[in-house]
Chain A
């Protein structure tokens, strides 16, 4: 059994919040450059150039890529041989978020009550925390700040087995078509298949953590990803919805077994500022 003081997690979470918001992944930069080569619309090429310039400026000026520095979504893989001491684990994660968003000059975007009061909590807490218990004595923490504009274009549909793969592809493409310029294209499309209602949504979100330069390890799903990507980019939406060939940079699928009666499909839309950073403790 390895003891870990939860207070040691605070500076790590703080740094992950700041780094994720300031520094875009190399995979996004290389994909945007790759798509720019194939882009036909001059307006679209101009937008892609501005995005590349913005990533560079954010890094140089130490400012967040986007003013929407998101909900702090926190994925934890907790080794079962770890014993947490020194305080409350959830509170430690929230304290790290609080410090990161304050000291990193990140926007505080959380309201306390979703419907009636909607009063800003002023420190971007609470984080949304998912914990998986895994083997070993390490803790892996990933912070994936998620903006509201793209999240709002996401959807879960409980389909029937008879809808088949065609039904899934059509639903995902239609969801992106209806999103148009709203989610800040070029986007990454996260697709969760199977599990149940809530697990499909979580799979879709987790799929966004995969690097854009990594192929789906299952050739069956890699093929479906390519098919959806081609259809989405044929919609003509383009960067920012102003028209063009670059609507999505990638489609990521994660799947799980499901009930004989069900076929849950979730689409989680991610803007071009696909931010996530991880640390292992």
Chain B
């Protein structure tokens, strides 16, 4: 199925998603990877506010290449998600509704998605120019010192991804392999 979603995400929209659905996202998304996640979770542990309102939002695991002249962003495909597994549940607990990355998540994150009615979306790793075409604006909103790992606010149009984990605990990485292994 092809589904178009706009941010901020609503729980009833996410409840309709099934693993394998092709999703196109339009609206604002936030970026963060290892170093930014560490800082975000440290803020939450101290009871401080995040640099953006997490409610219904999407975090995209990416460290983009610098923007060439005339382009809003450089190549910007997903990074491997398991490195964010230790941090992801804390962000879902404060209202984030989706993560975009590549590769499977651990059971703690899957359980947190079920509990918080959140989803994990897979973008195609290494298809970084294709993905960048859907990013129309990008600006650093926190942790500029981290360089490519800084948190960016991006405006996206029809950002392509596939539902990898739905709100019901299904996992495309297990189901897909089961179907094709010999």
Q: Chain A: residues with CB nearer than 8 A to chain B?
A: 40-41, 43-44, 47, 50-51, 53-54, 57-58, 61-69, 105-109, 118, 120, 122, 148-149, 152, 180-184, 234-238, 240-245, 271-273
Chain B residue numbers with a CB within 8 Å of A54 are 124, 126-130
Q: Number of B residues whose C-beta is below 8 Å from A?
A: 46
Q: Is the beta-carbon distance between A181 and B173 smaller than 8 angstroms?
A: yes
The CA-CA distance from A41 to B178 in the complex, in Å, is 12
Q: Is the beta-carbon distance between A58 and B102 smaller than 8 angstroms?
A: no
Q: Is the beta-carbon distance between A107 and B64 smaller than 8 angstroms?
A: yes
Q: Is the beta-carbon distance between B146 and A41 smaller than 8 angstroms?
A: no
The CA-CA distance from A181 to B68 in the complex, in Å, is 30
Flag whether B49 is at the interface (Cβ < 8 A).
Answer: no
Closest to A55 in B: B129
Q: Is the beta-carbon distance between A240 and B180 smaller than 8 angstroms?
A: no
Q: Is the beta-carbon distance between A67 and B64 smaller than 8 angstroms?
A: yes
Q: Given the known inter-chain contacts A47-B124, A50-B124, A120-B149, please indicate yes or no for A149 contacting B172, CB distance below 8 A.
A: no
The CA-CA distance from A57 to B110 in the complex, in Å, is 34
Across the interface, A238 reaches (CB within 8 A) one of B35, B64, B177, namely B177
Closest to A179 in B: B103
What are 9 A-B contacts defined by CB distance under 8 Å?
A: A63-B71, A63-B132, A64-B75, A65-B128, A68-B79, A120-B146, A236-B178, A242-B173, A271-B125
Across the interface, B126 reaches (CB within 8 A) one of A105, A106, A184, A244, namely A184
User: How far apart are A122's CB and chain B's nearest CB, in angstroms?
Assistant: 6
Q: Is the beta-carbon distance between A271 and B177 smaller than 8 angstroms?
A: no
Flag whether B67 is at the interface (Cβ < 8 A).
Answer: yes
Q: Is the beta-carbon distance between A58 and B75 smaller than 8 angstroms?
A: yes
Closest to B127 in A: A54
A/B pair count, beta carbons within 8 Å? 162
Chain B residue numbers with a CB within 8 Å of A65 are 75, 126, 128-129
Chain B residue numbers with a CB within 8 Å of A51 are 124, 126-127
The CA-CA distance from A118 to B147 in the complex, in Å, is 12
Within 73-102 of B, Cβ neighbours of A (below 8 Å) are at 74-77, 79-80, 82, 102
Q: Chain B: residues with CB nearer than 8 A to chain A?
A: 20, 35, 62-68, 71, 74-77, 79-80, 82, 102-104, 122, 124-130, 132-133, 146-149, 162, 164, 172-173, 175-182
Q: Is the beta-carbon distance between A120 and B147 smaller than 8 angstroms?
A: yes
Q: Is the beta-carbon distance between B173 and A241 smaller than 8 angstroms?
A: yes
Q: Given the known inter-chain contacts A68-B79, A108-B148, A181-B173, please indicate yes or no for A243 contacting B68, CB distance below 8 A.
A: no
The CA-CA distance from A236 to B174 in the complex, in Å, is 10
Q: Is the beta-carbon distance between B35 and A66 smaller than 8 angstroms?
A: no
Closest to B125 in A: A184
Q: Is the beta-carbon distance between B103 and A182 smaller than 8 angstroms?
A: yes
Q: Is the beta-carbon distance between B177 and A243 smaller than 8 angstroms?
A: yes
Closest to B19 in A: A242
Chain A residue numbers with a CB within 8 Å of B147 are 108, 120, 122
The CA-CA distance from A245 to B75 in the complex, in Å, is 28
Q: Is the beta-carbon distance between A109 and B126 smaller than 8 angstroms?
A: no
Chain B residue numbers with a CB within 8 Å of A53 are 127, 130
Known: A237-B177, A243-B178. 4 other contacts (CB 8 A): A107-B66, A109-B148, A182-B103, A242-B122
Chain B residue numbers with a CB within 8 Å of A149 are 79-80, 102-103, 125
Across the interface, A41 reaches (CB within 8 A) one of B71, B127, B180, namely B180
Q: Is the beta-carbon distance between B104 and A181 smaller than 8 angstroms?
A: yes
The CA-CA distance from A235 to B125 in the complex, in Å, is 20
The CA-CA distance from A242 to B147 in the complex, in Å, is 31
Q: Is the beta-carbon distance between B146 and A66 smaller than 8 angstroms?
A: no
Q: Given the known inter-chain contacts A40-B180, A181-B102, please indicate yes or no for A67 contacting B122, CB distance below 8 A.
A: no
- Listed from nearest, the 8 A-B pairs whose CB atoms lie closest are A243-B176, A236-B181, A236-B180, A184-B125, A182-B103, A54-B127, A57-B129, A234-B182
The CA-CA distance from A244 to B146 in the complex, in Å, is 37
Chain A residue numbers with a CB within 8 Å of B133 are 57
Q: Is the beta-carbon distance between A67 and B175 smaller than 8 angstroms?
A: no
Q: Is the beta-carbon distance between B128 and A64 smaller than 8 angstroms?
A: yes
The CA-CA distance from A118 to B35 in the complex, in Å, is 9
Q: Is the beta-carbon distance between A243 and B180 smaller than 8 angstroms?
A: yes
Q: Is the beta-carbon distance between B65 and A107 smaller than 8 angstroms?
A: yes
The CA-CA distance from A148 to B76 in the complex, in Å, is 15
User: How far apart are B130's CB and chain A's nearest CB, in angstroms?
Assistant: 5
